[in-house]
């Protein structure tokens, strides 16, 4: 018996990086997974084997989110887990240079879009009386210096939303937690790795944390799979750093 046998999971940002690794991890543990991302071709390329569905959706658009959640319920009849993971990064520029368009874009996806996914999925879970949501925040939401202003603020917002939603939903059988990844090599951070490799400074990337290496998407997926599973049945409202000790120092 696998941990996710009979369960239905949604993963956002599933076409790349941490989301893709999470979709594959949950599928390998028996879940029927709905992969959500912006682009159908990328979703098709990222999909795992087994019983799954793909649904293109811009999570910053509430009508699209509502339709995506309805499509999952129409296909599978329930939602047991949400890996609320899609996100965008912004340039690390001083606050004096930040444009309002950039603030709207980053908060619109990372915080408001994530909140809309949480809202519509939680409605289904409340109706079932069970479910688990894992939001992808970041160490950037815990400490300064790890991301651009809007990115860091959005991730701090995700951590607080995780606590408030956990309080809203705990009495109705729904748990809400967050993971806070450190530096992970994905599409989002490729420019960091490309720059470091070109400059012969790749080793320096790992020196930012106590384990002296950067992380792999699969290591975040493992933490998400734990928090969304029955193994974490008494954990809610928590934000778990998965960062090789970055926030410990
Ligand atoms: P990634 O760029 O590889 O994947 C992010 C995915 O989200 C992409 O496929 C993208 O198309 C999708 N996406 C973006 N905007 C969307 C929208 N409006 N609607 C639907 N999908 C959208 O990046 P990743 O590193 O795998 O990032 C996953 C999450 O992890 C993000 O929330 C990111 O902020 C967070 N995170 C990443 C790192 C890291 O070092 N890579 C560290 C901390 C947190």
Listed residue (29, 50, 135) closest to 84, CA to CA = 135
Ligand 1 pocket by C-beta < 6 Å: which residues? 12-13, 15-19, 37-38, 57-60, 85-88, 109, 113, 136, 138, 181, 183-184, 186-189
Q: 145: pLDDT confidence band, cut at 50, 70 and 90?
A: confident
Q: Which of 17, 34, 41, when mutated, tests ligand 1's pocket best, judged by the most ligand atoms within 8 Å of its CB?
A: 17
Q: What structural domains and CATH numbers belong to the chain? A: 8-183+216-248 (3.40.50.720)
Give residue 174 CA to ligand 1 midpoint distance, Å.
24
Per-residue pLDDT tens for 190-210? Answer: 999 999 999 998 888 888 789
Per-residue pLDDT tens for 101-123? Answer: 999 999 999 999 999 999 999 99
Give residue 195 CA to ligand 1 midpoint distance, Å.
19
Q: Which of 86, 92, 193, 246, when mutated, tests ligand 1's pocket best, judged by the most ligand atoms within 8 Å of its CB?
A: 86
Listed residue (146, 142, 141) closest to 183, CA to CA = 146
**Which residues fall within 8 angstroms of residue 142, CB to CB, at 6 or more apart?**
156, 159, 180, 239, 241, 247
What is the model's pLDDT at position 152?
97
Does position 29 have pLDDT exceeding 90, yes or no? yes
Q: Is the pTM of this model over 0.80?
A: yes
- The residues assigned a catalytic role are 151
Per-residue pLDDT tens for 74-102? Answer: 999 999 999 999 999 998 999 999 999 99
Q: Which of 10, 11, 13, when mutated, tests ligand 1's pocket best, judged by the most ligand atoms within 8 Å of its CB?
A: 13
Atom of ligand 1 nearest to the CA of 214: 40
Give residue 188 CA to ligand 1 midpoint distance, Å.
6
Give residue 16 CA to ligand 1 midpoint distance, Å.
7
Q: Flag whether the ipTM exceeds 0.95.
A: yes
């Amino acid at each position: 018996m696998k941990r996710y046998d009979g369960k239905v999971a949604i993963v956002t940002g599933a076409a790349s990086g941490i989301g893709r690794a999470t979709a594959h991890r949950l599928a390998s543990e028996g879940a029927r997974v709905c992969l959500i991302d912006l682009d159908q071709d990328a979703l098709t390329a990222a999909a795992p084997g087994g019983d799954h569905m793909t649904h293109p959706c811009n999570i910053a658009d509430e009508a699209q989110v509502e339709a995506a959640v309805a499509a999952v319920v129409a296909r599978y009849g329930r939602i047991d887990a949400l890996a609320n993971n899609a996100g965008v990064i912004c340039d690390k520029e001083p606050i004096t240079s930040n444009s309002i368009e950039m603030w709207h874009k980053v908060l619109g996806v990372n915080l408001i879009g994530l909140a809309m996914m949480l809202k519509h999925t939680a409605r289904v879970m409340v109706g079932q009386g069970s479910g688990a949501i894992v939001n992808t925040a970041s160490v950037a939401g815990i400490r300064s210096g790890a991301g651009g202003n809007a990115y860091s603020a959005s991730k701090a917002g995700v951590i607080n939303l995780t606590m408030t939603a956990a309080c809203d939903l705990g009495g109705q059988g729904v748990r809400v937690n967050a993971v806070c990844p450190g530096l992970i090599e994905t599409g989002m951070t490729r420019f960091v790795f490309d720059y470091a490799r070109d400059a012969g400074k790749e080793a320096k990337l790992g020196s930012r944390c106590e384990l002296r290496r950067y992380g792999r998407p699969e290591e975040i997926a493992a933490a998400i799979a734990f928090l969304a599973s029955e193994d974490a049945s008494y954990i809610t409202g928590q934000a778990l750093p998965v960062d090789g000790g970055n926030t410990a120092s």
